[in-house]
Chain A
């Protein structure tokens, strides 16, 4: 070609290259992944016997067999489905990576390239998730087969659809929240303790420690409306049939509202922060 140096195949091509390269890198750690994937479920063993003892004690003392509508089988199924939900919405290290990129002045290499920093981060994390699910495709089914007796509710079609949408929502809420917190590095340099507190809070409010509906009644309005529930609690609740069918649409709508809010917040923080970053001479 005369005079042309490069031919840009398509705007998405560069994102694809990152995705595939990163995926290949992760594949080399495959053995570690399989190992980790199986032992990841070990805590479930204790959970199964611990809650069994709780429900047995309740039975012996004549208390009702469900706690806030959750039977023993339900609660175990909840913790099991939690693994699936977190497989879509947890992005370990993202907050601190973004924080580090800003703090150490490494943003420059992304800013001079014709691509969005967000776009890069999303592809990077997506690649990680793809590898996770590639391995999970082999390790999860056998484990869930072993746990099949805990699933007493067969999800209806609307519930399955809502579950898939809620997973989609959880991905975006998860990653956007990481952006927002990571972007705070534009203003605060040393926030390791803060990051940790935020992560603990996220862990708790997303229902990973305890199903949100079992927590004290006084907290319920806050818990149900807060965005973190969408990261793990709601997908599990939907799958377990704990959300009435007529509530599903409204629930998902609020989820999308939160995505919108987080998206706007992250874009705003990015714009303002970038000005500040360049002003300091990045």
Chain B
């Protein structure tokens, strides 16, 4: 079976890259909130920074779940050893990324905010 380089790379590292993107977004948003003074704003009655963190990370989680599913099916259904390996790395990397996402959400839920 032939594999394209770019597609394979983004599949294999996909979950982790999505995590990275979410991390950068969440961090920059919180930093901007502090620097520009909207850290104590609220949206729909919820504080804006934790809310944004949870929403963005949930979106990232949904994308990662899709990658995990794709990789898992690839590993289960394909017969070619190499393709199955690629599927495995994709889903296992995604699974680790999901754990990291959970860890990333935690500060937004636990940390008391009035600290800017």
Partners in one complex: no
Interface residues of A (CB under 8 A from B): none
Interface residues of B (CB under 8 A from A): none
